[in-house]
């Protein structure tokens, strides 16, 4: 599927993190993925969690700003969750943030849904086509996780988001690129609630949370209200905190626990 693939040398890897770079048709160039693989033997077909970063970030953000690999490994060792692989791709590195949508001839949506998943399957021995796949993210990555997880529920078993943007028209709160640069035909009026309505008959497990001091709190509460009033099954939680890494570092555990529960 990829003309070129590079993967890190285990001799120099640390903290159970691996790094993959592939040449993607959808990006018209190379894309990076940071991957946490639990150091366990005789594990196969284990779940895959695709974890999306927010604006300004890249594939290293969740591990080197949030320590998610350390959190996951501790939870696995203590029996809170079953072993899982966590894949942390870049968003395609367009502007301050791609929002994981298409931009002209660059398809950041397919980069995540198709390329990232295929790169993991081709390079990580612990997973296979039988592995359950989940998706989560923060802020812009929460928007991407909710939109892609719901739109592609045939691929993603469940979705979880933290401090999520809930509509594409909230992107200018964080980026310098004008809103028009995101509003291609397929992205017009793109909002999480719209995507839920379009896929109402085939939804994955849904959860999301937001900090009580977060600038996106009102939007998240509005999405929760729409879901509740229309009897869409979901989990919504609020916790103290703002739009910041201490909040995400703490509450990513909720996503990992939710995904483990979705496996039964």
CB 258 within 8 A of CB 235: yes
DSSP state of 208: E
pLDDT per position as a tens digit, 127-143: 999 999 999 999 999 99
Burial class of 37 by CB neighbour count within 10 A (0 to 12, 13 to 18, 19+) = buried
Does position 187 have pLDDT exceeding 70, yes or no? Answer: no
- Residue ranges of alpha helices (H) inside the chain are 61-64, 68-77, 108-110, 117-123, 140-151, 192-198, 217-229, 245-262
**CA dist., res. 57 & res. 187, Å (int):** 22
CB 236 within 8 A of CB 258: no
pLDDT score at 249: 98
By percentage, how much of the chain surpasses pLDDT 90?
94
Indicate the pTM of the whole model.
Answer: 0.97
Within 13 A of 62's CA, how many CA atoms are on the CB side?
Answer: 32
**CA dist., res. 195 & res. 236, Å (int):** 18
Q: Please tell me the least confidently modeled range out of 63-67, 198-202, 231-235.
A: 198-202
Q: How many CB atoms lie within 10 A of CB 45?
A: 11
CB 47 within 8 A of CB 84: yes
Tokens in use for 260? 């483990």
Phi and psi at 145, nearest 5°, equal -65, -45
Tokens in use for 35? 């991957």
Tell the CATH topology of 5-262: Rossmann fold (3.40.50)
pLDDT per position as a tens digit, 60-107: 999 999 999 999 999 999 999 999 999 999 999 999 999 999 988 899
Map out the domains of the chain as residue ranges.
Answer: 5-262
């Amino acid at each position: 599927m990829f003309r070129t693939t590079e993967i890190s040398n285990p001799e120099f890897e640390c903290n159970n993190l691996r790094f993959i770079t592939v040449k993607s048709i959808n990006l018209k160039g190379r894309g990076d993925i940071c991957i946490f693989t639990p150091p366990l033997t005789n594990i196969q077909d284990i779940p895959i969690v695709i974890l999306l970063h927010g604006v300004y970030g890249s594939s290293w953000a969740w591990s080197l700003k949030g320590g998610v690999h350390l959190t996951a490994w501790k939870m696995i060792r203590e029996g809170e969750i079953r072993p899982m692989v966590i894949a942390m791709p870049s968003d395609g590195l367009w502007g301050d943030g791609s929002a994981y949508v298409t931009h002209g001839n660059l398809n950041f949506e397919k980069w995540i849904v198709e390329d990232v998943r295929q790169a993991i399957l081709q390079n990580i021995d612990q997973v296979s086509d039988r592995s359950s796949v989940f998706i989560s993210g923060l802020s812009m990555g929460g928007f991407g996780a909710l939109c892609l997880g719901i739109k592609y529920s045939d691929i993603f078993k469940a979705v979880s988001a933290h401090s999520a943007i809930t509509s594409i028209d909230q992107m200018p709160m964080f980026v310098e690129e004008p809103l028009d640069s995101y509003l291609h035909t397929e992205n017009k009026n793109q909002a999480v609630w719209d995507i839920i309505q379009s896929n109402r008959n085939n939804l994955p497990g849904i959860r999301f949370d937001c900090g009580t001091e977060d600038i996106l709190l009102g939007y998240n509460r509005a999405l929760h209200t729409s879901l509740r009033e229309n009897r869409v099954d979901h989990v919504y939680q609020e916790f103290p905190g703002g739009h910041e890494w201490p909040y995400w570092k703490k509450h990513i555990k909720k996503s990992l626990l939710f995904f483990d529960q979705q496996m039964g």
